[in-house]
Amino acid sequence: MSSVRRLPIIHPKPADGSRLAPFNLPAVTSFHNNLPGYAPSPLVSLPGVAADLGIKGVYIKDESSRFGLPSFKILGASYGAYYALVTSLGLSLDCNIDTLASKARESGSVLFAATDGNHGRAVAFMAKLLSIEARIFVPRSLDEYTKEAIAGEGAKVILGPGDYDQVVAFAAEASKACPGGVLVQDTSFPGYEDVPARIVEGYSTIFREIDDQIAEQNINIDLFISPAGVGSLAHSVLRYYKSLQRPVCSKVVTVEPDTAACLYKSLQARADASTPVTTSHTIMTGLNCGTVTYSAWPDFRDCLDGSVTISDFEAHSSVKELKAYGIDSGPCGAAGLAALRYLMASSREELGLGKDSVVVLLNTEGARPYTTPHDVTSDDPVELTRILTRIESTNPTLSLSAGSGEEAIADFIEGWLEHRDIESHRIQSQQGRPSVVGKVTGTGNGRSLMMNGHIDTVSLAAYTKDPLSGDLTEKNGRPAVVGRGSLDMKAGTAAAMVALAHAKKSQPRGSVLLAAVADEEDTSIGTVDILEAGWRADAAVIPEPTMLQLGTSHRGFLWFEVEILGTAAHGSRPDLGVDAIMNAGLFLSSLKEYTNRLPIDDVLGPASAHCGLIEGGEELSSYPASCKVKIEFRTVPAQRAEQIQDDLVSILEKHSKTDASFRFQPPKLLVERPALKLSSSEPIVKAAISAAKSTANPLVEPQALSFWCDAALLTEAGIPAVVFGPEGEGLHAKEEWVYVESIHKTTAMLDNLISDFCQ
pLDDT tens digits, 198-207: 999 999 999 9
Beta carbons of 530 and 448 less than 8 angstroms apart? no
**Based on the domain organization, do 401 and 437 belong to the same domain?**
yes
Beta carbons of 178 and 110 less than 8 angstroms apart? yes
Q: Enter the DSSP assignment of 193.
A: -
Q: Enter the DSSP assignment of 559.
A: E
Task: Give mean pLDDT, residues 553-561.
Answer: 97
Cα–Cα distance measured from residue 434 to residue 585, given in angstroms and rounded to the nearest whole number: 41
**Based on the domain organization, do 210 and 342 belong to the same domain?**
yes
CA 74 to chain centre: 30
Is 477 domain-assigned?
Answer: no
Cα–Cα distance measured from residue 510 to residue 442, given in angstroms and rounded to the nearest whole number: 4
Beta carbons of 497 and 409 less than 8 angstroms apart? no
pLDDT tens digits, 348-382: 999 999 999 999 999 999 999 999 999 999 999 99
Torsion 659-662-665-671 (CA) sign:
negative
Report pLDDT for 271.
Answer: 86
Cα–Cα distance measured from residue 210 to residue 40, given in angstroms and rounded to the nearest whole number: 9
Task: Give mean pLDDT, residues 338-351.
Answer: 97
**754 or 3: which carries more pLDDT confidence?**
754
Q: Residues 6 or more apart from 365 whose CB is under 8 A from it? A: 63, 64, 70, 71, 72, 117, 118, 286, 329, 330, 332, 333
Is 17 domain-assigned?
Answer: yes
Is residue 411 over pLDDT 50? yes
Mean of per-residue pLDDT scores for the chain = 95
C-alpha distances in Å from residue 29, one per residue of 201, 206, 295, 354: 10, 10, 23, 34
**Cα angle 46, 203, 26; round to 5:** 115
Pairing of strands 435-440, 512-517: antiparallel
Instruction: Give the DSSP H or E segment for 3.
Output: none
Is 371 domain-assigned?
Answer: no
Provide the β-strand partners of residue 427: 435
Is residue 126 over pLDDT 60? yes
**Based on the domain organization, do 537 and 498 belong to the same domain?**
yes
CA 732 to chain centre: 26
**Based on the domain organization, do 645 and 597 belong to the same domain?**
yes
Pick the closest to residue 564 from 675, 442, 666 (CA basis).
666
**Based on the domain organization, do 178 and 223 belong to the same domain?**
no
Is residue 1 over pLDDT 50? no
Beta carbons of 112 and 182 less than 8 angstroms apart? yes
pLDDT tens digits, 502-538: 999 999 999 999 999 999 999 999 999 999 999 999 9
Is residue 586 over pLDDT 70? yes
User: At 269, which CATH number?
Assistant: 3.40.50.1100
Is 545 domain-assigned?
Answer: yes
Q: Residues 6 or more apart from 33 whose CB is under 8 A from it? A: none
Instruction: Using CB atoms within 10 Å of the CB of residue 492, give its burial: 0 to 12 exposed, 13 to 18 middle, 19+ buried.
Output: buried
Is residue 17 over pLDDT 60? no
Beta carbons of 28 and 201 less than 8 angstroms apart? yes
Of 179, 195, 211, the one marking the end of a domain is 195
pLDDT tens digits, 420-455: 999 999 999 999 999 999 999 999 999 999 999 999
Is 438 domain-assigned?
Answer: yes
Cα–Cα distance measured from residue 431 to residue 7, given in angstroms and rounded to the nearest whole number: 33
Is 622 domain-assigned?
Answer: yes
Task: Give mean pLDDT, residues 155-176.
Answer: 94
Report pLDDT for 517.
Answer: 98
Cα–Cα distance measured from residue 140 to residue 18, given in angstroms and rounded to the nearest whole number: 40
pLDDT tens digits, 477-495: 999 999 999 999 999 999 9
Cα–Cα distance measured from residue 271 to residue 22, given in angstroms and rounded to the nearest whole number: 26
Of 195, 214, 248, the one marking the end of a domain is 195
Instruction: Give the DSSP H or E segment for 192.
Output: none
Task: Give mean pLDDT, residues 653-671.
Answer: 97
- Range(s) of the domain holding residue 540: 381-459+486-554+677-758
C-alpha distances in Å from residue 587, one per residue of 627, 630, 645: 11, 12, 14
**Based on the domain organization, do 309 and 215 belong to the same domain?**
yes
**Cα angle 639, 642, 647; round to 5:** 80
Based on the structure, what is the number of domains in the chain? Answer: 4
**Based on the domain organization, do 565 and 654 belong to the same domain?**
yes
> Cis omega (within 30 of 0) on the bond before 497?
no
Query: Could you tell me the pTM of the whole model?
Result: 0.90
Pairing of strands 57-62, 358-363: parallel
Task: Work out the end-to-end distance of the chain between its first and last CA atoms, rounded to an integer number of angstroms.
Answer: 20
DSSP helix/strand/coil, 565: strand
Is residue 719 over pLDDT 60? yes
Is 222 domain-assigned?
Answer: yes
Cα–Cα distance measured from residue 181 to residue 85, given in angstroms and rounded to the nearest whole number: 10
**Based on the domain organization, do 111 and 220 belong to the same domain?**
no
CB-hemisphere CA count at 13 Å for 150? 28
Pick the closest to residue 634 from 585, 678, 598, 603 (CA basis).
598
Is 479 domain-assigned?
Answer: no
Of 617, 640, 672, the one marking the end of a domain is 672
How much of the chain exceeds pLDDT 90, in percent?
A: 93
DSSP helix/strand/coil, 281: coil
Provide the β-strand partners of residue 558: 633, 672
Beta carbons of 709 and 455 less than 8 angstroms apart? no
Q: At 461, is the pLDDT very low, low, confident or very high (cuts 50, 70, 90)?
A: confident
Cα–Cα distance measured from residue 460 to residue 483, given in angstroms and rounded to the nearest whole number: 10
DSSP helix/strand/coil, 452: strand
User: At 734, which CATH number?
Assistant: 3.40.630.10
Is residue 18 over pLDDT 90? no
Torsion 284-290-296-300 (CA) sign:
positive
The backbone torsions φ and ψ at residue 126, rounded to the nearest 5 degrees and listed phi first, read -65, -40
**Based on the domain organization, do 207 and 343 belong to the same domain?**
yes
Q: Kindly write down the DSSP assignment for every residue of 693-739, as one continuous string.
A: HHHT-TT--EEEESS--THHHHHHTT--EEEE---EE-TTSSS-EEE
In one letter, which amino acid is 403?
A: G
**Based on the domain organization, do 582 and 711 belong to the same domain?**
no
A 10 A CB-CB count for 585 gives: 12
Cα–Cα distance measured from residue 154 to residue 137, given in angstroms and rounded to the nearest whole number: 14
Cα–Cα distance measured from residue 200 to residue 18, given in angstroms and rounded to the nearest whole number: 18
Pick the closest to residue 639 from 609, 680, 681 (CA basis).
609
User: At 611, which CATH number?
Assistant: 3.30.70.360
Cα–Cα distance measured from residue 179 to residue 135, given in angstroms and rounded to the nearest whole number: 13
Could you tell me the strand order of the sheet in which 306-310 lies?
9-10, 306-310, 251-257, 223-227, 358-363, 57-62, 43-45
Cα–Cα distance measured from residue 128 to residue 244, given in angstroms and rounded to the nearest whole number: 37
In one letter, which amino acid is 690?
A: S
Cα–Cα distance measured from residue 472 to residue 487, given in angstroms and rounded to the nearest whole number: 13
Residues 577/583/584/585 CA torsion (nearest 10 deg): 130
How much of the chain exceeds pLDDT 70, in percent?
A: 99
Q: Enter the DSSP assignment of 424.
A: E
**Based on the domain organization, do 190 and 313 belong to the same domain?**
no
Cα–Cα distance measured from residue 503 to residue 417, given in angstroms and rounded to the nearest whole number: 12
Provide the strand spans (E) within 325-371. Answer: 358-363
**Based on the domain organization, do 544 and 686 belong to the same domain?**
yes
pLDDT tens digits, 252-276: 999 999 999 999 999 999 888 999 9
Cα–Cα distance measured from residue 315 to residue 327, given in angstroms and rounded to the nearest whole number: 14
